[in-house]
Structure 1
Amino acid sequence: MRNNKKMNTTKQVDAESDTDNQLGHKGFLRMITLVSTFGGLLFGYDTGVINGALPYMSQADQLNLNSFTEGLVASSLLFGAAFGAIFSGRLADKKGRRKVILYLAILFLVSTLGCTLAQNVPVMVGFRFLLGLAVGGASVTVPTFLAEISPMERRGQIVSQNELMVVTGQLLAYIFNAIIGNTLDGNNHVWRYMLVIATLPAIFLWIGMYIVPESPRWYASKGKMGAALRVLRKVRQEKRAQAEVIQIRESINKESKVVKVTLRNLNEPWIRRILFLGIGIAIVQQITGVNSIMYYGTIILQNAGFSTKAALIGNIANGIISVVATLIGILLLGKFGRRPMLLVGLIGIMLSHLLIGIFSLTLDGTAILPYVVLSLTVLFLGFQQGSIAPVTWLMLSEIFPQKLRGLGMGVCVFCLWITNFLIGLVFPILLDKIGLSTTFFVFFALGLGAFAFVKKYLPETHGRTLEQVEKYFRRAHKNRIVRKAKVNESR
């Protein structure tokens, strides 16, 4: 059986090398990045499309939603995403990153069709939950896969291309929402047309992953060093591929001496610190309130004074700035550290929250308020997507050691999606009960807490290989032990 498995692995890698010969190292890596990040595109489209679909779903002759069921329909995907994140991480460690992305493509397709054909709230919520499993799985597996196949000096830019595809998916959702909403406004099933479009990138992802190789680091973790080297030769120069395999082997040999980490056994103090930081980073991204704008942007603009059609068009501005800011963020990641980018981003989003709250009070009922709110949401998304979002997903993909990467990122992204779920569920209720201005004052207060966490606890990982990041955390733990021992001796 082992020989058969090795033969199958060799055949798969050799078949993939034919494509590499045609494209070259850099071209093949670009192709891998493009295909795999269609998981991010689906992530973005499926989370963004609800923004324009909700007002039409809410109509009495459709799903007849109120503020609670609006939150339930929007957030059921996020609840599913939490479980998709944690289970896909472990599954990716066991079965491989590539195979899990293939599974997710099928789940995206089936659940999208289910949502499109839903006739009532329970069915919609059920399929949105399944869709969330796929979204959460993609949010973990795709960045992990990209981090493991990228060269160190380009890792930030390549992993962040997944975030670019996420916001591109959201922009496409806003554009299609606006086109469909403004041209088919009299059609009772406008929202179904908005949802079904997501089947197309799901099919592309499913087909495309058949020509994408497995992660070399995953091969190495399973003892398949030959397969790992073959993949690296397809995306690196020969000397570098050889050197990287040696480095990966050394890292794995060190990890083999450490007790394997599971959910039941997180007793290694240095690992607990990484998990604490990862969960903190995940929560920081969500308590900024970014997804309240992504999911309820149309409703926010309606509350500010826009009509539904005008709000759908206005949301395109949010989508455009998200894409532009993410492109800028990708460029900045190669030049600046993770910490300063997060801190600057948090200052920007707190300012945006504060101004939305103030102007919603002082300009209430005026004709200018909708345009002020739209401008401030654009400003908010510029800081969020240009710094906070790309840094979040990049750091989650690079702070964990190989043995813990799938599980650790899964746990952190589970916490991210649970936080996202709670905000998505209560946001329309908050708008209904306490109003637009007070809701954004709450987000301002949460932003202060996020800033304090990053300032105090977050280390810098810029300019380090994945193996060097691991060494940093091990060394930092040893240094703390030494300092503690010296303090005890001095007493």
Structure 2
Amino acid sequence: MDVSKDTAQAPTPATAVPDDASPTVKRRLRVITLIATFGGLLFGYDTGVINGALPYMTEDLGLTPFTEGMVTSSLLLGAALGAVTGGRLSDGRGRRRTILVLAVLFFIGALGCTLAPNTAIMVVARFVLGLAVGGASVTVPVYLAEVSPAERRGALVTRNELMIVSGQLLAFTSNAIIARVGDESGGVWRWMLVIATIPAVVLWFGMLVMPESPRWLASQSRFGEALEVLKQVRSQQRAEAELAEVSSLAVKDEQEKLGGWQDMKSTPWVRKLMFVGFGIAIVQQITGVNTIMYYGTQILTDAGFAADSALTANIANGVISVLATFVGIWLLGRVARRPMLMAGQMGTTSALLLIGIFSLALPSGDGRAYAVLAMTVTFLAFQQGAISPVTWLMLSEIFPMRMRGFGMGVAAVVLWLTNFVIGLVFPSLVDGIGISNTFFLFVLAGLFSLAFVKRYVPETKGRTLETLEAELKARFS
């Protein structure tokens, strides 16, 4: 595509300047990434812990299939609100300040869930936790994308995805250990939930000494501060070149007044870009990934595992998610985003088809149990190794600088609302039409997703955020 008209007056791309940063500067970037991704760890733990806690909680709180869905999906409804609120807050008040607020919400929500005396309080506490999860799902990837050099953006942003699946693995493992140590005693689920308060404290204290996003500072015309932050994570020459590029775009965005609902509605290319963002968000969710993350223990129990064995076997889902994410991070440095997303869709759809077939055709027992486990592991290998890292990375890349938090927040609302609907209806679907037919519905959704990605999703690899914005504007104008 020809974007020369949009970029003719732009400064030399920062990627043309080698980043020969000192070891101290590189170490600073690693520390920033580590601290910020504790938001991802909390995201993973708080969404994954319900998987093992729910069976014990059901007995203590007297949950029905409907209230099980409410307890699970109240977090997701909170996440939808948290995503758009967090996106707006991070655009207005800064990425760093927003993450500090989210750390407090993570702590309050986890403590509220731990101490909940009844279903109503549990639903409210999970909703508060969801506000934090949704805000983190938007703000942390944007923060990492804006602080990262273009050539390392894929690897650094997807460290957040690695921390998400590590949080889920931690949840699955601690659930199994606590269940065995507690010997299924009353209230064992409370110990599973309270662990999440620890990384929330680490995130809050860690972010106190982290810098603000240089691109957010530039969007507020605080160019001197932006340069100082860039010099913390780049060589001097690269920092100055990058600031010139960012500043030039910030001025253009200010002239176009990009930043909110009204601007989105009145700017055709941004509207089209939002449509693409919504589609990417839906594609990630309608694979049915979170039915396995939230209800994996019940799926394995239904397949033939005993309750304790299902908790232990479910750890395999967490392990493969972490290993697959390592592979995904490696691939993102070598493979284009769009074909990687399509390969993931083909893999997950095939695995879901086989889960449905095995659940329908094989007799109950060890054979069916291990066949279903093998397919959930295969599904997660494609989901966490391709679809999820590409989704969160692309959503952090495609929106214009002045509305990046807002744009990703709105897309994440769509993602979390899709997640909410699936999490709410899954127990009732399984109860009504059976697990096989439920997974066949996900297979059909996967085929539609594949067609959408092939037709509409752009490639984003190998560009600075500023160059990418110019290209997408030219493509969708």
Determine the C-alpha separation between the residues in 2 that align with 1:415 and 1:238.
Answer: 40
State whether structure 2 residue 199 is matched by structure 1 residue 201.
Answer: yes
Residue 387 of structure 2 corresponds to residue 411 of structure 1: no
Deviation (angstroms), 1:261: 3.8
SS at match of 1:264: helix
Equivalence map 1:67-106=2 (5 Å): 67-106=65-104
Matched, 1:167 2:156: no
Instruction: Check whether the contact 2:165–2:318 (CA below 8 A) recurs between aligned residues.
Output: yes
Amino acid at match of 2:309: A
Counterpart of 2:38 in structure 1 is 38
Superposition pairs for residues 324-403 of structure 1, below 5 Å? 324-403=323-402
Tell me if 1:225 matches 2:223: yes
- Report what 1:117 is aligned to: 115
Distance 1:341 1:133 in 2: 30
- Of all paired residues, the percent bearing the same amino acid is 59
Partner of 1:484: none
Kindly state the Cα deviation for residue 79 of structure 1 after the two structures are TM-superposed: 0.3
- Cα shift at 1:364: 3.1
Match of 2:13 in 1: none
Residue 7 of structure 1 corresponds to none
Shift of 1:262: 1.8
- C-alpha displacement at 1:468, in angstroms? 1.0
Deviation sequence 1:253-286 (CA, Å, 0-9, x none): 1112213342234221110111001010000000
Aligned to 2:12: none
TM-score, normalising length: structure 1: 0.92
Shift of 1:384: 0.1
> What is the match of residue 483 of structure 1?
none
Q: Within the alignment, does 1:467 sit opposite 2:469 as a pair?
A: no
Gapped regions of structure 1 (runs ≥ 5): 1-20, 479-491
Q: Mapping of 1:49-60 within 5 angstroms?
A: 49-59=49-59
Q: Where do residues 125-136 of structure 1 align in structure 2 (5 Å cutoff)?
A: 125-136=123-134
**Letter matched to residue 29 of structure 1:** L
Answer whether contact 2:71 2:119 (CA < 8 A) is retained: yes
Output one character per residue of 1:335-363: Cα deviation in whole Å (capped at 9) or x when no partner.
11111101100000010011011111110
Deviations 1:45-81 (A, max 9, x none): 000000000000111xx11111111111000000000
Give CA deviations for 1:77-104 in whole Å, capped at 9, x if unaligned.
0000000000010001111100110011
- SS for the counterpart of 1:211 is coil
**Residue pairs, 1:437-476, within 5 angstroms:** 437-476=436-475
Q: Which amino acid aligns with 1:416?
A: L
Cα 1:224–1:298 shift into 2, 3 Å: same
2:150 alignment counterpart: 152
Q: Which amino acid aligns with 1:246?
A: A
Cross-structure match for 1:486: none
Question: What secondary structure sits across from 2:256 in the alignment?
Answer: coil
CA–CA separation in structure 1 for the residues paired with 2:247 and 2:366:
64
**Structure 2 vs 1, CA of residues 383 and 186 (structure 1 numbering), >3 Å: closer, same or farther?**
closer
For 1:280, give the aligned amino acid.
G
Q: Cα gap change, 1:460/1:22 in structure 2, threshold over 3 Å: closer, same or farther?
A: closer
| Cα contact 2:273–2:476 (8 A) shared by 1 | no
Secondary structure of 2:411's aligned partner: helix
Q: Distance in 2 between matches of 1:22 and 1:403?
A: 31
Whole-angstrom distance in 1 between the partners of 2:72 and 2:469: 37
2: CA distance, partners of 1:158 / 1:213: 16
Identify the residue that residue 236 of structure 1 maps to in structure 2.
234
**Separation (CA, whole Å) in 2 of partners of 1:239 and 1:458:** 34
Q: How many residues align?
A: 456
Tell me which residue corresponds to 2:281.
282
- Which amino acid counterpart does residue 138 of structure 1 have in structure 2? A
Deviations 1:391-411 (A, max 9, x none): 000000000010110110000
CA positional deviation for 1:296: 0.3
CA contact (8 A) 2:56 2:184 kept: no
User: Take 2:237 and 2:129, find their aligned partners in 1: how far apart are those partners?
Assistant: 43
- TM-superposition CA deviations, 1:226-274 (whole Å, max 9, x none): 0000000010000000000000011111112213342234221110111
Partner of 2:176: 178
- The 1-side partners of 2:63 and 2:414 are apart by 28
Deviation at 1:432, TM superposition (A): 1.1
Deviation by residue 1:401-431 (Cα, 9 ceiling, x = unmatched)? 1011011000000000000000000011111
- Determine if contact 2:345/2:446 at 8 Å carries over to the other structure: yes
Shift of residue 22, structure 1, vs aligned partner: 11
Q: How big is the shift at 1:186?
A: 3.5
CA shift in 2, pair 1:65/1:23, >3 Å = farther
Match of 1:216 among 205, 214, 234: 214
* Deviation for aligned residue 1:376: 0.3
Query: What is the letter of the counterpart of residue 249 of structure 1?
Result: S
Say which SS state the counterpart of residue 462 (structure 1) adopts: coil
- Displacement of 1:366: 3.5
CA distance in 2 between partners of 1:400 and 1:63 (Å): 43
Residues 1:48 and 2:44 are matched in the alignment: no
Task: Determine if contact 2:398/2:469 at 8 Å carries over to the other structure.
Answer: yes
CA distance in 1, matches of 2:427, 2:179: 21
**Stretches (4+) displaced over 6 A:** none
TM-score by length of 2: 0.94
The residue aligned with 2:251 is: 253
Asked if 1 retains the 8 angstrom alpha-carbon contact of 2:303 and 2:365, the reply is: no
Amino acid at match of 1:291: N
TM-aligned CA distance change 1:237 to 1:271, over 3 Å:
same
Cα 1:339/1:50, change in 2 over 3 Å? same
Q: Which moved more, 1:297-306 or 1:40-49?
A: 297-306
SS at match of 1:242: helix
The CA distance in 1 between the partners of 2:454 and 2:405, in whole Å, is 27
Helix, strand or coil at the partner of 1:372: helix
